[in-house]
Structure formats: C-alpha cells, structure tokens
Chain A
Amino acid sequence: MKYRAPTSIEQAVELLASHSGARAFAGATDLIPQIQAGRPEPSMVVDLKRIPQTGVLENRNGHWRVGAAVPAARLTSDRHLVAAFPGLAEGTGLIGSDQIQGRATLGGNLCNASPAADSVPPLVALGAEAVIVGPRGKRSLPVSEVVIGPGVTSLDQAEFITEFRIPTPLRGAADAYERFIPRTEMDIAVVGSAARIRVDTQGRCQEAAVVLGAVAPTVVEVGAATEILGGRKIPEAPDQDPIWEELGNAAEASCNPIDDKRGTVEFRRRVARVLACRTVATAARRARESL
C-alpha cells in the first residue's frame, strides 16, 4: 500500500484517476479497522487532509462551508457552529470516543456509507450539499443522494468530497439529533433521528424535516413531516396531543429496518416513533427560543 498526501485537489484527482485501486481517506477511523479486519488493502491511500479546501470552516454569504476532513473535535468545539447547528453537533459528537473524535470527519462518516452514521441524518435534515470534485470537474449533490446502499456511494472512483455547504439557519429555525444505543457510550445507533424545524413568530411550524438513521439501507426522510406539522404549534414535549400520534405513525411507516442482535424490526420501528417525536419537540423548542 502506497501513501500519498497531495496538497491540491488537482493532484488528488490525478492520483485517484491514475490508480484503479486507490482510495481517498481523511480520518482513517474506518479505513484502518477495515484493513485490520481482513478487507483487501487498497494499492494506494490518498490522504485528503493536506488539501486546504477540506479543512475550511466558515459561515459566509448565507451558508456554512464545512470541510470534509475537519475532525469532529474541531466541529464540536466551534461555538458558532454548535450554536447554528446544535443537532449536527449532537450527531457528530456521538461518533466514537474522544480519541475517535480527534480524527473522524463528516466526509468519512458519509462516504463510509453506514446506515447508522450519526452525522448523516442531521446533514440531510439541514439540506446540506456535498461539493464533489473529480476528473470532470466540480459538482454539487444533496447529501441525501451520496449514499445509495450500505457501504456504497454514488461517487465515481476518482471523485471525493471537499466540503459541505449548509444553509445558515433562518431566525426561528433549529435542529436536533438523538440516537438509541443499549449502552451510554461507544456504540452504533440502533435508531437515530434528526429533526429541523422552523417556526414563525407565533410559534407555528413553517418547515419541518425529520430524517431517520439505522432503520433502512440508507437514511430515510419522513416525507409526511411537513404536511403533518406545517402551520401547527408543536407542543413542548411528546404528550397526548394527536400531532405525536400522526408523526409517530409517519415515522414508523418510513422505516424498513433489519433484525439483528441490537434490535428487532418491531423494536426499531417503535424506537423510531419515539425518537422522531422527541427530536421534533427539541428542535421546535430550540427554534422558538431563537426567535
């Protein structure tokens, strides 16, 4: 295995395009364990961390630019980013231990293409776009279209993500993320849920996005969320209000989970219902507080 650390996008694309077994990486927190577990070693690994664009972190002209190779620890300690996207910070902060946080990145969490990736539901809920570069130049793709199945992305072999562009939240908008795991730390989501809510000055919901992780081959959006929540006042917490029954039913209907040692199909559907409601309540509360 050869190691290369290009310092420009052009060099990186050239390396990936001219070596069929080459693989791009950033934090290596998935790459190295996969090799240790017996997956074939790539003929070349291309380190994206020395390309300046992959390390960008700024809020400018109506959107945040978040470099694909910025470590989680830097994201979760940036108070402006945490204030703008508390849910994305929650999801990112749940990826592994402090040691993993020092290395893991949003680009890697997305392109590893696990259905249970904790930073992906918030990115999708926020309407983030991935800026992708490759032999044919630069293109932009909604994050929801990057992963097409477990371990599989829609990117070509010589393409990689340089950064994410996330719309700066409008007044009255906020997000939230929660996951269920059987322990308190160091585990993979059995179900994850991200919500983004925007309310008007009267507290009525204007926009809603609910995105579930670990309940289908890719993250899934609860399509009916806007229809159910739009124009209504969202209660403080999941209670007897019929809004939660409707939202829970829609969340369950969006799931297509698997049975495995960490959760049955039935359990995952049930937890998806609970977490969808909780994250909507939290995002809505944060959205009202931001007015």
Chain B
Amino acid sequence: MTRTVVTCVVNGDPVDFLCHDHQTLLSALRDELGLTGTKEGCGTGDCGACSVILDGRLVCSCLVLAPEVEGRSIGTIEGMANGQHLHPLQESFLQGAAFQCGVCTPGFLMAAQALLENNPSPTETEVRYGVAGNLCRCTGYDKIVRSILDAAARMRDSDAQRR
C-alpha cells in the first residue's frame, strides 16, 4: 500500500513522516515519530487522553487523519517542558499528586495548558468545564482540578513579577 509523505511542524521542529491515508494523527505521532507521550484511550474522541494542539486549537489526535496535518503545526506533551525545566502545570501535577496510573495525564496537561492560555484566572467551575473532555479513572478529578488552579496562580504570580 502506498504511503504519503507529510511535512509539518511538531513542537517547533520541522518534521517529515510517512503514513497511510487511513492512519490517525495519534498513530502517526506514536508509531511513525516515536512520540509516545500522547496516549490512546478510547480512540473515539470521548476520553481526551490523546489531546494535542493543532494550529493553536486543542483537538483529539485520534479524530484527526494523519495526512490532514500537511503544512500544519502540532504541539504535544513532549514540547511542554522547557529542556530540564518542567512547565508549572507539570510541577503542580507532581506536587499535588494529580495522577496515579498516568495514562490520562498528558491529555489533561494539554487541555489545562489550552484552558490557561485562553483564561489565565479560571474559577474551579471553569477548570472543571475546561477538562470535561478528559477522563481519569484513578484520581476522582479533585487533585487534578486543584493542581490546575495552583499552577494558574503560580503562572499569574511569575507573570506579575516579570512586569
């Protein structure tokens, strides 16, 4: 079966990969590019484990066909930390014990990052709606929600200090 070359940008770097037309972006990231931080949960857009940023919008990579991303820009969990420095959300998740098995965590972090970019000061309710597309079967969500609120507060503080 013929495969197509797709050229795109992943976490800021230009990337080429080969894929079948029916392959999903999730499968291309994991199986063609070796970026296994993005997880497969349901494969039907219900659980959010495969969340990535596609041209600035939060999407489920299981609901994107790999050839669709020709010329597009993708952000994955692998691009979240700045070298050895974790993102404040990642720090908060660690400190707040916001995960157990960890399969949902990359998706939650991507969704939380997208939420805070649009709304740096969310209420608890806004956080809960913001991650409504992400399922966690371990934590009961409370620690995740608290960690996102905590990270938002720390990001606002460091923003204020920089000014």
Contact = CB atoms under 8 A, between A and B. Distances in A.
Interface residues of B, number: 30
B69 to A, nearest CB: 11
Contacts of A169: none
A185 B111 CA distance: 16
Given A36-B43, A36-B44, A5 B70 contact: yes
Interface stretch (B7-15, B73-81, B98-106, B126-134): B126-134
Contacts, number: 79
Nearest to B66: A3
Contact of B63 (A28, A47, A185): A28
Interface in A30-51: 32-33, 36-37, 41, 45, 47, 49
A102 B59 contact: yes
Contact of B111 (A36, A47, A71, A99): A99
Interface of A: 1-3, 5, 27-29, 32-33, 36-37, 41, 45, 47, 49, 71, 73, 96-100, 102-103, 185-186
28 contacts: A1-B22, A3-B4, A3-B21, A5-B68, A27-B63, A28-B63, A32-B24, A33-B45, A37-B44, A41-B22, A45-B65, A96-B45, A97-B132, A97-B134, A98-B114, A98-B115, A98-B130, A98-B133, A99-B58, A99-B63, A99-B111, A99-B133, A100-B45, A100-B63, A103-B59, A103-B64, A186-B46, A186-B133
Interface of B: 4, 21-22, 24, 43-46, 48, 51, 54, 57-60, 62-65, 67-68, 70, 111, 114-115, 129-130, 132-134
